[in-house]
Structure 1
Amino acid sequence: MNKAFSFIILTYNEEIHLPRLLESIKSLRAPLFILDSGSTDETLSIAASYGTQVKTNAFENHPKQWDFALKHFDIQTPWTIGLDADQIVTPELFEMLESFNDEKHQDVNGIYFSRKNFFQGSWIRYGGYYPIYLLKMFRTGIGYSDLNENMDHRFIVPGKTVVWKKGHIVEENLKENDIDFWYQKHERYSDLIAQEEIERMQNLRKQSLNPTLFGNPDERKAWLKRLWWKLPLGIRPYLYYGFRMFFQLGVFDNKTARRFHYLQGLWFRKLVDQKIKTLQNRQ
């Protein structure tokens, strides 16, 4: 059994994804923990077949679900790795984890993995989507979920972090091959983000991280978010989409990836702004 790190995975009806992920990490022989939010398909049977420890918690949002997982699983390894069910560990990242030595990372509290994102079979290579670095590995008991976010989830650690630029996690939600699923999911996400932004306007939420353009990947993202919140509603989606397509070279992606840029970069953000205005009018 791997004594350096454990995996925590969030699931909800992931029979299409979970075997793919568990196969990519099973030879690491690390303890596996799954927090499920009420799956009705074969997710729990698949989890049991891989010897995972499973708990169930009603889903409210991703940050709170991760917070519950970190607080309710008894992780005995010095490191924890948090993954989503629609991600897999590539062979290159597998090798880095297989050779991981805790003694060589005594001054490090968190490790960023590089992510490759796919949509309907296409790698989203441009438009600011690669490389994206996500804090996925952190010292047990030190890393925590950022509850000041309502939809986006991130782990936070105090102290030093490092970025692994080699090796990747690959993220592809196969359910999104059905575009209606994508629309329905982002309708729900838009409600969460709109409510979050209203609460930020009312000073009910504050950023947990120090926003700085020259900090770690999450601190840079916090800086960009702070800038985003200052831009005028209704106009900022077009500014972002233009920046993403031309300055971040999204036009060089293939047709499917360009559709993703339109849906995620413009349509979704217009929807969020519309819902923010609706909430403002109600108040």
Structure 2
Amino acid sequence: MNSEVSVVILTYNESKHIKRCLERAFSVASQVYVVDSFSTDDTVKIAEAMGGEVYQHRWPGNQAAQFNWALEHLPIRTEWILRLDADEYLTDELQDEITTKLPYLSDDITGVSFKRRHIFMGKWVKRGTYPVTLLRLFRRGKAVCEQRWMDEHIQLLEGNLVNFEHDFVDHNLHNIAWWTSKHNNYATREAIEILDIELDLIGRAQVSGSLNSQATAKRSRKEQYSKQPLFWRSFAYFIYRYFLKGGFLEGKEGFLWHFLQGWWYRTLVDSRIYEIKKSCGNDPKLIIDYIDKHYQINLTPEKSLVEA
């Protein structure tokens, strides 16, 4: 039974997080690969000092293309691959679970999902969204990252998946100003994603693979969400998370998390869509040209998600 694991981490200016991430990653992995997009801080220096194997690759515009490039080009030889973001880390309980259970998984199990725990402003926000279950550990050659502009997931090409009990943690150490700036940039990509669902802007090739059950259900909800009226849908989503799912019980940090991530951010996405449609209507070609001109994102087939 081969249960050796390689970890793949995508980075750009992650000096605040990379040491914490690698320390936990090496507890379960024989090799950690850092795919860096030419960071200007000490990310590469820290990663190499800790034993990470660093590869530089120009950022292709989205996580999906960068991660799939890594799967194709890194010299990975282990049976299992674990994907982590630099601001994520494994809990002690999940480390133990991986090392204990992985050697005994049957050959038909090709993917493993974990629960993601969000720490926001130092607080674990348990109500409203937790747990989000994500497929992050998979057998080499048995999965890829689906090609999407936002909210991309690992999808299995064959085999079955199992859920482990314990959590990994998403805990970004930057301040609110950084967080809102990052989500301002995310909003454009999320707007493209929703416009693509509605108008088939990109016509991307679909990989024949499977997501975990929660991700599949989330895709269905997102398609339904995209059909609801602009601005009303972001407000309704906040009400659902904050009141119906108990987010109001999480104190000030919980309010900020659900307001900013559940309402403000999605209203910002809708404002992008409204602005684009006000200028272009529902004409895909005009929308693609508008996004290229105003956001410097080229959505033509040869330059979009398949670019490496």
TM-score, shorter chain, exceeding 0.5: yes
| Partner secondary structure for residue 27 of structure 2 | helix
| Contact in 2 for aligned 1:190/1:271 (Cα 8 Å) | yes
Counterpart pick for 1:246 among 231, 243, 247: 243
Distance 1:42 1:210 in 2: 37
1:223 aligns with 2:224: no
Residue 267 of structure 1 aligns to which amino acid in structure 2?
Answer: W
| Partner secondary structure for residue 6 of structure 1 | strand
Counterpart for residue 262 of structure 1: 259
1:232 aligns with 2:229: yes
Q: Which runs of 4+ in 1 moved over 3 A?
A: 100-103, 204-212
| Partner secondary structure for residue 171 of structure 1 | strand
Offset of residue 208 of structure 1 = 6.2
| Contact in 2 for aligned 1:113/1:168 (Cα 8 Å) | yes
Distance 1:80 1:29 in 2: 9
1:108 aligns with 2:115: no
Offset of residue 29 of structure 1 = 4.7
Counterpart for residue 38 of structure 1: 38
Using the size of structure 1 for normalisation, the TM-score is 0.91
| Partner secondary structure for residue 20 of structure 1 | helix
Residue 281 of structure 1 aligns to which amino acid in structure 2?
Answer: K
| Contact in 2 for aligned 1:18/1:46 (Cα 8 Å) | yes
Counterpart for residue 83 of structure 1: 84
Residue 78 of structure 1 aligns to which amino acid in structure 2?
Answer: E
Residue 76 of structure 2 aligns to which amino acid in structure 1?
Answer: I
| Contact in 2 for aligned 1:66/1:145 (Cα 8 Å) | yes
Residue 93 of structure 2 aligns to which amino acid in structure 1?
Answer: E
1:9 aligns with 2:9: yes
Q: How many residues align?
A: 275
Counterpart for residue 276 of structure 1: 273
Counterpart for residue 100 of structure 2: 99
CA spacing shift, 1:227–1:159, aligned 2, 3 Å? farther
CA offsets 1:91-139 (integer angstroms, 9 cap, x no match): 11111122244453311111001111011101111112x1111110011
Residue 230 of structure 2 aligns to which amino acid in structure 1?
Answer: L
Counterpart for residue 170 of structure 2: 171
| Partner secondary structure for residue 94 of structure 1 | helix
| Contact in 2 for aligned 1:8/1:81 (Cα 8 Å) | yes
Gaps of 5+ in 1: none
Distance 2:209 2:168 in 1: 26
RMSD between superposed Cα atoms in Å: 2.0
| Partner secondary structure for residue 28 of structure 1 | coil
1:136-215 equivalences under 5 Å are 136-147=136-147, 149-157=148-156, 158-165=158-165, 167-175=166-174, 178-204=175-201, 205=203
| Contact in 1 for aligned 2:26/2:32 (Cα 8 Å) | no
CA offsets 1:49-90 (integer angstroms, 9 cap, x no match): 122221112221111121111111121111100000101111
1:63 aligns with 2:64: yes
Distance 2:159 2:62 in 1: 27
Counterpart for residue 27 of structure 1: 27
Residue 180 of structure 1 aligns to which amino acid in structure 2?
Answer: A
Counterpart for residue 122 of structure 2: 121
Distance 1:211 1:35 in 2: 25
Distance 1:209 1:119 in 2: 35
Offset of residue 7 of structure 1 = 0.5
CA offsets 1:120-160 (integer angstroms, 9 cap, x no match): 101111112x111111001111110110x202221000331
| Contact in 2 for aligned 1:211/1:223 (Cα 8 Å) | no
